[in-house]
Amino acid sequence: MQSTTQWTKELKLLANILNKSGLEKSIKWGAEVFTYEGKNVVSYGGFKNYFTVWFYNGVFLKDKYKVLVNAQEGKTKSLRQWRFTSIDEVEEKKILEYIKEAVEIEKKGLKIKPEKFQPVSLPVLLINAFKAEKTLKPAFEKLTPGKQKEYILYIEEAKQEKTKIARVEKIIPMILGGVGLNDKYK
């Protein structure tokens, strides 16, 4: 079961429902994920203000009951969540209906095509770091374009200048070590 103390009873109920789906259960990213022929279909978890079931390819679901939301508008492409704030909102029949449709989507092989790689310009703070640390730029250039972009976006997404500076300082050893920002999660 997913780890949280706030939604213990609710998550147990979701786990029981998902176990009835006939999907294979595995642990990925430290959470239970239900798969069909090795493809992620559905998972669940608890957050501060809600607990949820999410569908990895939920963008293709018809959403008959108009319950699905995009977890992070503008970032999340395919995943959709069904959020609950009370155990009384959980309807097993409807959840299993959505899971059945999600399996059909996997059988059809529907996928969102990844967006074509768009190069992004280097932040001034990173350029300055290249000037200060001569081995940094060659190390950065050895990284894959995707890893370079992760670092650039990580810096640029910060709103405050002091946060951007702190992020540059944090990533310098990682770049010099030849690792990507999110390698520890892969």
Using an 8 Å Cβ cutoff, are 84 and 90 in contact? Answer: yes
Looking at residue 116, its pLDDT comes to 77
- Return the closest-CA partner of residue 148 out of 158, 139, 136, 140: 140
- Return the closest-CA partner of residue 181 out of 167, 164, 163: 167
CA distance 58 to 159: 30
Q: Is 185 exposed, middle or buried (0-12, 13-18, 19+ CB in 10 A)?
A: exposed
Local confidence band at 4 (pLDDT 50, 70, 90 cut-offs): low
Domain 8-108 = CATH 3.90.1150.200: yes
* DSSP H or E segment with residue 69: strand 68-69
Domain ranges for the chain = 8-108, 124-185
pLDDT tens for 154-186 read 999 999 999 999 999 999 999 999 999 988 776
Looking at residue 160, its pLDDT comes to 97
